[in-house]
Structure 1
Amino acid sequence: MKKIIVLSFLFLSVLSVQAQELEWHTDISDAAKESLKTKKPLMLFFTGSDWCGWCKRLQKEVFQTPEFKKWAKKNVVLVELDYPKRTPQEQALREQNFNLQQMFGVTGYPTIWFVQPEKKEGKKVNLNPLGNTGYVAGGPTKWLEVADGLIEDKK
């Protein structure tokens, strides 16, 4: 009987962890379609995943917390735009990320831009900037205060 209870608990714990996983898009077109459908802004996370210490710190202190996961599912469509040094990337993804880096004037990492896609002239999609931030000391509460201020001002 104890084994059944322990196994049930472990099974439910695994399901709970999986349910909290976030979907990070890497294709801006797919993310924009979801954003237009859900009416949630995009959160563009410009990162150097395999070399940027501040990016790793932001991931650990904020993006991997239950508070952020709950907030993100409710408020934004997540997009990771990675600029790795050692991890190989497909050419199309590198080009997309480079173009977005240029478009938003990103010169340091981590940089997070909040943007609201808007469909123009049939299929063309414009990315209207709402604001940007980076690493904010103080954990998820402080970071989410900044993020809320950027997206709430534009609603």
Structure 2
Amino acid sequence: MKKILSLLLLCIASLGYSQDWKTNFDEALSDATTQKKPIILVFSGSDWCAPCIKLDKNIWQSETFKNYAASNYILERADFPRKKQNQLAGEVEKQNQGLAEKYNLDGIFPLIVVLDSKGAVLGKTSFKNITPQEYIDELNAFIK
């Protein structure tokens, strides 16, 4: 019983530190306008793209990035999984396709696009084997 309770508390605590990755771009734009924050739009292949998986593990899931992002960015993920069990809902898949047609015409994965609250591109980057703080500094360099 103690193990179950400990595991449950750990899961609940981890939810408090999780990031608020949006999957509705209109909601992300609205939040960016209201909160006066830039949007970090990530094009990812979560179940097939090795650099995407490394970026998630090394940067997005780091405490440094989580803590900074919580008060400085609106996070939007446009995921393109390939495995059948990971397929997205039809409307999310359609939205992600539209985002790719607008922001990722070359089909680069991962692609990170920094946007202002109106959806204008401020800068683009991809996977780099650098520290979370160095990645934050690179993203911030796009924001003027």
Do both proteins adopt the same fold according to a TM-score greater than 0.5, normalized to the shorter chain? yes
1:29, distance to aligned residue in structure 2 (A): 0.8
* Counterpart secondary structure, 1:131: strand
* Residue range with higher mean Cα deviation, 142-151 or 77-86: 142-151
For 1:101-116, list aligned pairs within 5 A: 101-104=100-103, 105-116=105-116
TM-score normalized by structure 1? Answer: 0.80
* Residue range with higher mean Cα deviation, 86-95 or 20-29: 86-95
Q: Percent identity?
A: 28
The amino acid across from 2:100 in the alignment is Q
Greater share of strand: 1
RMSD: 2.0
> Aligned pairs, how many?
137
* Residue range with higher mean Cα deviation, 101-110 or 47-56: 101-110
The amino acid across from 2:56 in the alignment is Q
Counterpart of 1:144 in structure 2 is 136
Unaligned runs of 5+ in 1: 119-126
Q: Which has the higher contact order (CA 8 A, sep 6+)?
A: 2
**Alpha-carbon distance in structure 2 between the residues aligned to 1:81 and 1:33:** 17
1:47, distance to aligned residue in structure 2 (A): 0.2
Counterpart of 2:56 in structure 1 is 59
Structure number with bigger Rg: 1
TM-score normalized by structure 2? Answer: 0.86
Deviations 1:72-130 (A, max 9, x none): 11211000100111122222211111111111124211100011123xxxxxxxx1111
